[in-house]
């Protein structure tokens, strides 16, 4: 039997009759948790979020409560909170569901998070390609203001909060938190160097700033509804709560699903929930956490360390189907849970072509500040384009690997890793397909030189 979904965030998504207006939200218990939270001490809310073990759902899986505690205690500047609604990682389509179908849930999560961190001005930085999403949020903010859930002296308290929607600049790098901050300040989204520009210290307008993903902020509402300790019982140790998985590619039932973290395996997700591989084909590969996550090969085995009930650790060998969908196991399997975007490829897929597609995206999206990323992403794109168009040189495979190996770890932001990991993993996992494309030298000498 298929593992049951556990819908916290998506409880009302696609529910017949559920609408985005505040009346519907209030009829379904909306803003009750915020009302309760506003009577608590700020530190108590932060402690609940810490106790919940909530990890960020935007990509890196960083502890949310821990991130909040980085705001310097001696700070006298304003603290800002930014909701990262840029959602541009290929394969990811969850935040938009929340924004388009349950916007007040996000506002309630933000209200509680802002109150806990003494924020009086917050932004939702929404992907430029979501114009309707921006309008929906703006309307929801107006409604929340009319009911005094936002604005001055919220619900008669001495707490005031304004939230503004800021439309993104239409580039993937605007989702990287420091690039996002630059863009919000009205500049080109060039990521900043850390240190010193850790958002918690020198963020928006050089003030302490919290950047959290849409889904992460929604979870705060559910943590406060049941308490951090109870929330931490959902999911698995160190991988708590639920998370939304977006499945795309060669499955019969692609879509968005919400499960307790680590309570469903990749095999159950693909074969039970998504009804298996399309056309009765065979599974070939999976990118488990958005396009920048390292690819997994269907016939691989993974050595995973698992904690036993008595606390001892054992090493187990598992197949791709047995990988639980959690942050830690996915990392131990050599990839990452990332943004929850699971991309499935069947045996008809040409892996060089698939990588060429990914490389084209990254070459287009590099902001160009760092030489290894700017030049390297373009070189990788050129090489994989040559490979797919029958113009590759014998030395191209070695060159491609060399370029990828010289980007990661040498750049200002994690885009460097995001663009080199696909190339490194595709070559490592499917070397024969790359070798086949470079077996025969097809370019004439003058063209070779030009290439």
Ligand X SMILES: Cc1cc2nc3c(=O)[nH]c(=O)nc-3n(C[C@H](O)[C@H](O)[C@H](O)COP(=O)(O)O)c2cc1C
The reply on whether position 235 binds ligand X by CB under 6 A is no
* Phi/psi at 402 (5° precision): -60, -40
| Residue 167, helix vs strand vs coil | strand
Cβ atoms of 384 and 419 closer than 8 Å: no
Backbone CA torsion sign across 375, 378, 381, 382? negative
Give rounded-to-5 percent helix, strand, coil for the chain.
45, 20, 40
Backbone CA torsion sign across 121, 47, 112, 8? positive
Chosen from ligand X, ligand SF4, none, partner binding at 370 (C-beta under 5 to 8 Å by type): ligand SF4
Task: Tell me the residue ranges of DSSP E strands in 168-238.
Answer: 209-213, 235-236
Please identify which residue in 213, 359, 425, 438 interacts with ligand X, judged by CB under 6 A: 213
Chosen from ligand SF4, ligand X, none, partner binding at 56 (C-beta under 5 to 8 Å by type): ligand X
As measured in angstroms, the least distance from the Cβ of 302 to ligand X is 25
Question: CA–CA separation, 414 vs 124, rounded Å?
Answer: 22
Chosen from ligand SF4, ligand X, none, partner binding at 86 (C-beta under 5 to 8 Å by type): ligand X
The reply on whether position 60 binds ligand X by CB under 6 A is yes
Chosen from ligand X, ligand SF4, none, partner binding at 108 (C-beta under 5 to 8 Å by type): none
Question: CA–CA separation, 80 vs 76, rounded Å?
Answer: 12
Backbone CA torsion sign across 130, 131, 134, 139? negative
Question: CA–CA separation, 156 vs 397, rounded Å?
Answer: 66
As measured in angstroms, the least distance from the Cβ of 379 to ligand SF4 is 13
Question: Tokens 């080109």 correspond to what residue?
Answer: 188
The reply on whether position 416 binds ligand X by CB under 6 A is no
Per-residue contact string for residues 364-383; x = within reach of ligand X by CB under 6 A: --------------------
The reply on whether position 200 binds ligand X by CB under 6 A is no
Joined tokens for residue 207 = 């003030």
Question: CA–CA separation, 349 vs 352, rounded Å?
Answer: 9
Please identify which residue in 52, 183, 216, 335 interacts with ligand X, judged by CB under 6 A: 216
Per-residue contact string for residues 149-178; x = within reach of ligand X by CB under 6 A: -----------------------xx-xxx-
The reply on whether position 415 binds ligand X by CB under 6 A is yes
79-85 and 119-126 as β-strands: parallel, antiparallel, unpaired? parallel
The reply on whether position 212 binds ligand X by CB under 6 A is yes
Please identify which residue in 37, 38, 49, 56 interacts with ligand X, judged by CB under 6 A: 56
- CA 302 distance to own-chain centroid: 24
Question: CA–CA separation, 160 vs 220, rounded Å?
Answer: 19
The reply on whether position 40 binds ligand X by CB under 6 A is no
The reply on whether position 89 binds ligand X by CB under 6 A is yes
As measured in angstroms, the least distance from the Cβ of 337 to ligand X is 11
Cβ atoms of 333 and 324 closer than 8 Å: no
As measured in angstroms, the least distance from the Cβ of 389 to ligand SF4 is 26
As measured in angstroms, the least distance from the Cβ of 77 to ligand X is 21
Chosen from ligand SF4, ligand X, none, partner binding at 212 (C-beta under 5 to 8 Å by type): ligand X
Chosen from ligand X, ligand SF4, none, partner binding at 62 (C-beta under 5 to 8 Å by type): ligand X
Chosen from ligand SF4, ligand X, none, partner binding at 12 (C-beta under 5 to 8 Å by type): none
Cβ atoms of 123 and 184 closer than 8 Å: yes
Q: Which residues bind ligand SF4 (CB under 6 A)?
A: 173, 191, 366-370, 373-374, 411-413, 415-416
**Which residues bind to ligand X, rule: CB under 6 A?**
56-60, 62, 84, 86-89, 172-173, 175-177, 211-213, 216, 413-415, 418
């Amino acid at each position: 039997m298929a593992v049951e979904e556990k819908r916290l965030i998506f409880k009302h998504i696609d529910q017949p009759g559920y609408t985005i207006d505040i009346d519907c939200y209030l009829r379904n218990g909306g803003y009750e948790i915020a009302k309760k939270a506003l009577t608590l001490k700020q530190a108590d809310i932060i402690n609940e979020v810490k106790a919940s073990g909530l990890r960020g759902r935007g990509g890196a899986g960083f502890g949310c409560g821990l991130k909040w505690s980085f705001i310097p205690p001696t700070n006298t500047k304003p603290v800002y909170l930014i909701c990262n609604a840029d959602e541009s990682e290929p394969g990811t389509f969850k935040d938009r569901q929340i924004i388009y179908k349950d916007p007040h849930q996000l506002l309630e999560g933000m209200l509680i998070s802002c109150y806990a961190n003494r924020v009086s001005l917050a932004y939702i930085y929404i992907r430029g390609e979501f114009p309707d999403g921006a309008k929906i949020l703006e309307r929801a903010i107006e409604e929340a203001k009319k009911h005094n859930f936002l604005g001055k002296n919220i619900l008669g308290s001495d707490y005031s909060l304004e939230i503004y929607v800021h439309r993104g600049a239409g580039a993937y790098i605007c989702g990287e938190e420091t690039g996002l901050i630059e863009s919000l300040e009205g500049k080109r989204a060039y990521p900043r160097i850390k240190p010193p520009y850790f958002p918690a210290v020198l963020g928006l307008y050089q003030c302490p700033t919290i950047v959290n993903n849409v889904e992460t902020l929604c979870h705060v509402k559910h943590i406060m509804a049941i308490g951090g300790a109870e929330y931490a019982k959902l999911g698995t140790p160190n991988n708590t709560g639920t998370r939304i998985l977006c499945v795309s590619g060669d499955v019969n039932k692609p879509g968005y699903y919400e499960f307790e973290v680590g309570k469903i395996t990749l095999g159950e997700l693909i074969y039970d929930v998504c009804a298996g591989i399309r056309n009765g084909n065979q599974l070939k590969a999976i990118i488990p956490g958005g396009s920048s996550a390292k690819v997994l090969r269907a016939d691989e085995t993974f050595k995973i360390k698992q904690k036993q009930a008595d606390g001892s650790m054992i090493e187990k060998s598992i197949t791709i189907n047995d990988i639980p969908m959690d942050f830690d196991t996915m990392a131990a399997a050599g990839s990452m849970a990332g943004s929850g975007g699971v991309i499935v490829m069947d045996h008809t897929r040409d892996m060089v072509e698939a990588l060429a597609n990914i490389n084209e995206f990254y070459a287009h999206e590099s902001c160009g500040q760092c030489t290894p990323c700017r030049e390297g992403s373009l070189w990788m794109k050129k090489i994989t384009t040559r490979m797919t168009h029958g113009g590759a040189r014998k030395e191209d495979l070695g060159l491609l690997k060399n370029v990828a190996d010289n980007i990661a770890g040498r750049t200002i932001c994690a885009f460097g890793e995001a663009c080199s990991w696909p190339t490194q993993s595709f070559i490592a996992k499917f070397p024969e397909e790359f070798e086949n494309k470079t077996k025969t030298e097809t370019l004439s000498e003058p063209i070779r030189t030009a290439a």
